[in-house]
């Protein structure tokens, strides 16, 4: 059954691969499943056909036969539960990996997204210079705790899993900032994720959309 995902027709980050389809592409590359991509414009995303797939007008979505899913976390989890390669076999280790997926999305990502939202919507406000350090402090609290837990391990809990895939894509959102400079172990962790062949294939595939579009 063909897997079809959606992605931005035009890359908002000029091919840096921060859009959330990157997580799904990476997961599919890790488990060796081919997929098709349907590109959507910002206008199309808000129209009824797309809203039927994604009630909040976002990407990515995932279609496979009768199944239609949204939310990158849910899609990666579905792929990881359906195809071997992204979750441990042992039931307890599997549940812990899923807990780390939720932690990446619910505990680590929100303050990072707050920083991005402030950049977009508050940069011209007179409070911006005061707000940014408040958000950064919140991010650093999370990174302190995350790096404490990671220690000198390669991955969050044993072998590489969907947990690391998710956490690495969350940390990547900090690439443009100076914050990760203070967390060499997290920067190295992110680099390990990005060095995986599956990551590189996924990154190249999303970049190709942009370079093709800018010809």
Instruction: Supply the minimum distance, in Å, between the C-beta of residue 166 and a second copy.
Output: 11
Instruction: Supply the minimum distance, in Å, between the C-beta of residue 109 and a second copy.
Output: 8
- Which of 21/209 has CB closer to a second copy? 21
Instruction: Supply the minimum distance, in Å, between the C-beta of residue 43 and a second copy.
Output: 16
What the block records as the tokens of 153 is: 């391990």
- Which of 167/190 has CB closer to a second copy? 167
Instruction: Supply the minimum distance, in Å, between the C-beta of residue 91 and a second copy.
Output: 8
- Which of 113/188 has CB closer to a second copy? 113
Instruction: Supply the minimum distance, in Å, between the C-beta of residue 207 and a second copy.
Output: 25
Residue labelled with tokens 């900032």: 177
Footprint of a second copy (CB under 8 A): 51, 55-58, 66-71, 73-75, 77-78, 92, 95-96, 98-99, 101-103, 105-107, 109-110, 113-114, 117, 121-122, 125-127, 130-131, 134, 138, 142, 145-146, 148-149
Instruction: Quote the CA–CA distance of 100 and 86 in Å, as a whole number.
Output: 13
Smallest CA-to-CA distance from 38 within 75, 4, 13 is with 4
- Which of 97/209 has CB closer to a second copy? 97
Instruction: Quote the CA–CA distance of 187 and 155 in Å, as a whole number.
Output: 12
**Contact residues for 41 (Cβ-Cβ < 8 A; gap 6+):** 9, 10
- Which of 106/214 has CB closer to a second copy? 106
DSSP string, 32-69: T---EEEEE-HHHHTSHHHHHH-TTS-S-EEEETTEEE
CB atoms within 10 A of CB 148: 9
């Amino acid at each position: 059954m063909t897997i079809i995902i959606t992605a931005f027709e035009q890359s908002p980050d000029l091919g840096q691969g921060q859009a959330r389809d990157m997580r799904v592409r990476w997961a599919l590359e890790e488990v060796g499943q081919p997929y098709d991509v349907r590109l959507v414009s910002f206008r199309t995303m808000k129209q009824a056909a797309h809203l039927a797939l994604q009630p909040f007008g976002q990407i990515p979505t995932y279609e496979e036969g009768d199944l239609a899913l949204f939310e990158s976390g849910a899609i990666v989890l579905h792929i990881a539960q359906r195809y071997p390669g992204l979750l441990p076999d042992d039931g307890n280790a599997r549940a812990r990996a899923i807990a780390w997926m939720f932690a990446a999305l619910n505990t680590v990502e929100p303050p990072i997204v707050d920083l991005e939202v402030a950049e977009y919507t508050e940069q011209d406000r007179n409070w911006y210079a005061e707000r940014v350090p408040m958000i950064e402090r919140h991010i650093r609290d999370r990174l302190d705790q995350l790096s404490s837990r990671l220690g000198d391990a390669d991955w969050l809990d044993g072998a590489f899993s969907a947990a690391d895939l998710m956490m690495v894509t969350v940390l990547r959102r900090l690439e443009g900032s100076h914050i990760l400079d203070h967390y060499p172990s997290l920067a190295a962790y992110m680099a390990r994720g990005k060095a995986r062949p599956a990551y590189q294939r996924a990154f190249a595939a999303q970049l190709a959309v942009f370079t093709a579009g800018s010809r």
